[in-house]
Amino acid sequence: MADLEKPLDDAGLTNPAVREYVLHWAQYLGAERIEVVSASDDARLIQESLAADEIQPAGEGLYYSRSYAKDTARSEERTIVATSRPEDEGVYNNWRHSDEIRPVVEGHMQGAMAGKTMYVIPYLMAPPGSPLERYAAGVEITDNRTVCLHMIRMARVGVDLINGLADPDMFVRAVHVTGDLPNLGQGTDDDQRYFVTVADERTILHFGSSYGGNALLGKIAHGLRQAAYDGWASGEFLGEQFMLLGITDKETGETHHICGGFPSASGKTNLAMTLAPDALGERYHVSFYGDDIAWLWVAADGQLYGLNPENGVFGVAKDTNEDTNPTALDAIEEGTQALFTNVAYNESTHEVWWEGKTPARPTDPTGWRDWKGELIADRNPDEAGDPWAHPNSRFTTTLANVPNVAADFENPHGVKIDAIIFGGRTRDREPLVRAIDDLAEGVYDGLTLGAEATAAAEGVEGKLRYDPMSMRPFMSYPEGPYAAHWLNVVGAAKDQPVFAHVNWFQRDPEDGHFLWPGYRENLRALLWLVEYKKGQVTGRRTPVGVVPLREELNLDGLEIDSDELDTLLTIDVERWREEMGHREEHLKQFANLPEQIWEAHRRVAAALEAE
């Protein structure tokens, strides 16, 4: 015991509850030694990881790593929310009784750190001093040094953050054990992986992965699942998979803040980091607050506020380039200390590459290895077309590296929210943007967000599925109370935000090309929404919301086919009538859905019938 306590003393870890938690797990996991990690340890940890070949250099101040080939995305079927209250079972939270599942996952963990170092990562989700600080503290335990490097970029990490907690016991206990990755039966009937959030004990137990949200426990396990549960249990806030941005009109000096949910790998990072299109850049500036998580609450002044609890970006690499997202490229340039995972890597030149980084692959395959570590030069001809980078390969960088990060991105009081948007990959039916003024209809719209599945989770890409508020993989409590909590929190705000549904992914039915150019041009839809909110444009009222008149959209400098633009701004009433039946089935799954949501559904359905 004395031996195990020494590293805690050396690191100045004084919080007694944290010490007790760490020592308990060190013994249970059988760790050989403990190391307490702070952000100031980054340079040393990088050197150790390079020396141990866990990461490779990818240019000056850039690093590359590959995860195990069967461990490249979140596994939704293996993700569980547990509590001791059966009434917490929802449709999407994969609820299990904690008495039943805790021993199972703990059983896999017992003794699993024998001979290994147990890293202790004290962190805060949310900048220090925020009104939600009591929900922000956590201590991740992990056996994986690369996880430490990611957590240092994605969260605020340091012993000092945890020593001075107002309530020393109020921190999330987040235990991560990688496990023996080649022997976990990933995807088979004998799958050993368990990603469990014991929400009413504020404890996260993840076993069997070293990748992304499965392993960086501050991010979605705490920042979304646990936070959403805490926000509901306390009645104080919402924790959502939302991006958050500001649009400043340089002529008037006004800034509007927009947050919103798009399912995983459907455009949050790209939207939040976007620059105004060149033709609009003189007048408008977009500032970046967050790309994956927002916490929303009503502050003492009665207004709705939002903040990004994260300190970094874990962004999809695919198709990130100078045209689509120049800001992201700046945030991962030499010297940023960014990490790349599962992209292609050249072991001679130390370059990285992913599909869409450049129009064509590097011409000379010498030195290039794909995301599985296989030499491109050794590929069989029948594998020639396989992607070099995994479609869910990612870059990790801190918020401060993002060139358009908002000046006040660390303000712990957050920013006032003017608009809430939902969007997904939808190849038809959904117009470019439709605004919704009514709170219940806005929440209804979020609950019926339908989108094509993406590579961010294991499973079928492209399949249409409902993804309420983009929270389907992160839902921690039942959908009925979730909707009620939304109505309560947002309904309490003095100034109501406008809601909107956006879609950048409508396709031509014949050849499948995207009708809307997307990326930086998406700002045009948001500018219309801001003007709509201010009453400067009226749009055209449809049964499913207000769509822009084409002359209301700022199209300066944009070349777009006139018929395609019409399609983007049209509501296909027949398709929508069909959709209403699916929505009804979808919503019927949710017990105790507030009557206001059903009323909104019936209003929209009746308006569609009356068209």
The DSSP result for 142-188, as a single string, is ES-HHHHHHHHHHSEE-THHHHT-SSTT-SEEEEEE---GGGS-TTS
Q: Which does 65 bind (CB under 5 to 8 A by kind): ligand SPV, ligand GTP, Mn ion, none?
A: none
CB of 470 to ligand GTP, least distance (A): 8
CB of 79 to ligand GTP, least distance (A): 15
CB of 215 to ligand GTP, least distance (A): 15
Residue 389 corresponds to which tokens in the numbers above? 């980078």
**Counting beta carbons within 10 angstroms of the beta carbon of residue 303, is it exposed (0 to 12), middle (13 to 18) or buried (19 or more)?**
middle
**CB-closest chain residue to ligand GTP:** 518
Is residue 221 a contact point for ligand SPV (CB under 6 A)? no
**How many of the other CB atoms lie within 10 Å of CB of 214?**
26
CA distance 113 to 26: 8
CA distance 120 to 140: 6
Residues in the site for ligand GTP, rule: CB under 6 A? 262, 264-270, 291-292, 315-316, 318-319, 324, 456, 504-505, 514, 518-519, 522
**Counting beta carbons within 10 angstroms of the beta carbon of residue 379, is it exposed (0 to 12), middle (13 to 18) or buried (19 or more)?**
middle
Is residue 220 a contact point for ligand SPV (CB under 6 A)? yes
198 vs 352 by CB, closer to ligand GTP? 352
Per CB under 6 A, the list member of 213, 267, 312, 424 interacting with ligand SPV is 213
The runs of H, that is alpha helices, within 40-178 are 42-51, 98-109, 145-154, 160-163
Total residues in contact with Mn ion, by rule CB under 5 A: 2
Q: Which does 522 bind (CB under 5 to 8 A by kind): ligand GTP, Mn ion, ligand SPV, none?
A: ligand GTP
221 vs 490 by CB, closer to ligand SPV? 221
Per CB under 6 A, the list member of 59, 127, 131, 212 interacting with ligand SPV is 212
Binding string, residues 310-349; x marks residues near ligand SPV by CB under 6 A: ----x-----------------------------------
DSSP letter for 363, please.
S
CB of 473 to ligand SPV, least distance (A): 7
DSSP H or E run through 352: strand 352-353
Per CB under 6 A, the list member of 83, 94, 186, 264 interacting with ligand SPV is 264
Q: By CB under 6 A, which span of 212-220, 274-282, 352-360, 573-581 interacts with ligand SPV?
A: 212-220
133 vs 292 by CB, closer to ligand SPV? 292
**How many of the other CB atoms lie within 10 Å of CB of 583?**
18
At a CB cut-off of 8 Å and minimum separation 6, what does 599 contact?
440
**CB-closest chain residue to Mn ion:** 292
Is residue 292 a contact point for ligand SPV (CB under 6 A)? yes
Residue 61 corresponds to which tokens in the numbers above? 């101040």
CA distance 547 to 331: 35
Q: By CB under 6 A, which span of 180-188, 213-221, 405-413, 582-590 interacts with ligand SPV?
A: 213-221
Is residue 222 a contact point for ligand SPV (CB under 6 A)? no
Per CB under 5 A, the list member of 41, 292, 370, 479 interacting with Mn ion is 292
CB of 304 to ligand SPV, least distance (A): 24
281 vs 387 by CB, closer to ligand SPV? 387
Longest dimension (CA), the chain: 76
At a CB cut-off of 8 Å and minimum separation 6, what does 60 contact?
334, 335
Binding string, residues 445-484; x marks residues near ligand SPV by CB under 6 A: -----------x----------------------------
Residue 91 corresponds to which tokens in the numbers above? 């449709």
Give 566-584 as a 3 state SS string. Answer: HHHCCCCHHHHHHHHHHHH
CB of 423 to ligand SPV, least distance (A): 14
Is residue 219 a contact point for ligand SPV (CB under 6 A)? yes
CA-nearest of 211, 45, 229, 230 to 121 is: 45
Is residue 474 within 8 Å of 467, Cβ to Cβ? no
96 vs 268 by CB, closer to ligand GTP? 268
Q: Which does 336 bind (CB under 5 to 8 A by kind): ligand GTP, Mn ion, ligand SPV, none?
A: none
Of residues 255 through 284, those in contact with Mn ion by CB under 5 A are: 264
How are beta strands 62-65 and 95-97 bridged, if at all? unpaired
Is residue 63 within 8 Å of 72, Cβ to Cβ? no
213 vs 267 by CB, closer to ligand SPV? 213
Residue 73 corresponds to which tokens in the numbers above? 């995305």
Is residue 74 a contact point for ligand SPV (CB under 6 A)? yes
Give every strand in the sheet of 352-353, ordered side by side. 352-353, 344-346, 368-369
- What is the gyration radius of the CA atoms in the chain, in angstroms? 24
Give 261-320 as a 3 state SS string. Answer: ECCCCCCHHHHHCCCCCHHHCCCEEEEEEECCCEEEEECCCCCEEEECCCCEEEEECCCC
267 vs 594 by CB, closer to ligand GTP? 267
45 vs 453 by CB, closer to ligand GTP? 453
Provide the binding-site residues for ligand SPV, judged by CB under 6 A: 74, 212-213, 219-220, 264, 292, 314, 456
